[in-house]
Chains A and B, each alone.
Chain A
Amino acid sequence: MTPLHVAARWAAVIVVVFVLQVGLVSQMRVFGVIPDIMVVLAVCAGLSGGGQRGAVVGFWIGLMFDLPRTEHPLGLSALAYCLVAFLAGMAQVVVLQSGRTISMALVAGGSVVGVLLFAVESQFFGGDALTNPHLLTILGVTALVGALLSRIGLRVAGFADGPETRSAAE
């Protein structure tokens, strides 16, 4: 697959997941928390495609998610998801050498880190995400959703990356 094909696939995947997030997932709260499937996709992008590609894809995932959220400065999620996808890419080797449980834990942990990064950034830019009284619940639900969606997330990321870079974690 050419880089253009990969970019086109990722663009399609990001748009579909974005529409699911804002249209469907945002209306189905778990313990009062809106699950964040965008961060799960960013982590899976890193785990599947490696640090560099993960950072690029994570940036676009975050930027897309930032667009309708006027409560926060544009680019906060882009930075958080770019960093967490890059970090997840660093752990790609671990995923390649381990089983499903480890990759599930990595997606869950990575998603939590991504959300936490966003909260820290938000606090720096005058928001109140880090002092949100439900932050622990939000992180818990994020981990749960990350773990549950890790398999499908890695499959989707593997599809977008193409057969050459598809990780063994799928």
Chain B
Amino acid sequence: MMVLLSFTVITIGSKDVPVLGSVRGAVIDVLGPVGRGFKSATKPVRSWWGGVNDYDRIAAENDQLRDEVERLKAKQAANSSAAAELARLKELEGLPFIADIDSKVALISTGAYSSFDDNTMTIDRGATSGFKVGMPVVDRSGLVGRLESVFDDRSVIRLITDPDFAVYVKLASTGSYAAGHGTGPDRPFLVDSGVNLDQEVNKGEGIFTSGIETGSFPRDLPIGTVTKVSASQSDLTQVLEVKLAADLERLSAVRVLLWEPPT
């Protein structure tokens, strides 16, 4: 009987019944403060645990960061002129990425509850802040995902790493369009449709949202950079592995663009 009941719940749940959505929304609204409370109360324990569990990685990361700081210091002077040039280019091209798209900052309130929930995150603002399903979410480096569910004071982000997260992209050098999708946490974003074999693509090439009319995002939101180029199994197109610009491992705040796809 309980198995039958479970299947009934699954069936009803998959129909997007508003009541169930409200119940889930209420639970998420309640759990936000609970999660934050636990987070601050257990910070010393978690820091200790993080150190114990991840010592080697943290030590390596510290070394890497020191090198990075030195490298950045050396580049600072050169960058100032490059930044000025970039600003001029942006001014000339009027890139929509820096255009006046209204946006609001939201804090990550809860992450995954189990190891199978790595493709979503919850933020601490919702419909009362003007958020709507489908709005793009970015961090300072690039696209993070889109709002999948919006409740009164919470929203759930579908992360760009989700295999079901598909997006039309644009290659920086040629401006040609292609399609890409996530492949799961800790895996590269794949652009595997629309890049012909005769098209030259190099490692380090920037990938941006296309902004085409049927797309779900405004133009030129950074997605990442190409790290590997290979031929598809059918040998008809190229497959690009892309390292995401956004650092999803260390997200603490995001910016939700109050932008809706044209209907």
Contacts and interface: CB of A to CB of B under 8 A. Distances in A.
Contacts of A36: 114-115
Interface in A121-142: 122, 125-129, 131-134, 138
Interface string B39-72: 1001001100100010000000000000000000
Contacts of B122: 68
Interface in B122-152: 122, 148-149
A76 B10 contact: yes
A86 B2 CA distance: 10
A121 B156 CA distance: 22
Contacts of B45: 28
A63 interface: yes
A70 B156 contact: yes
Main secondary structure of the interface of B (DSSP, over half): helix
Interface string A1-30: 000000000000000000101111011111
What's the interface size class on B, roughly?
Answer: 35 or more
A30 B53 contact: yes
Interface residues of A, number: 50
A75 B10 contact: yes
A70 B3 CA distance: 21
A75 B31 contact: no
Contacts of B163: 128
List the 6 shortest-distance A-B pairs measured between CB atoms, nearest first: A74-B13, A75-B9, A23-B38, A79-B6, A75-B10, A67-B27
Given A36-B114, A69-B117, A76-B10, 14 more contacts: A23-B34, A26-B112, A26-B114, A34-B114, A62-B6, A71-B117, A71-B120, A74-B14, A75-B8, A75-B12, A78-B9, A78-B10, A79-B10, A132-B115
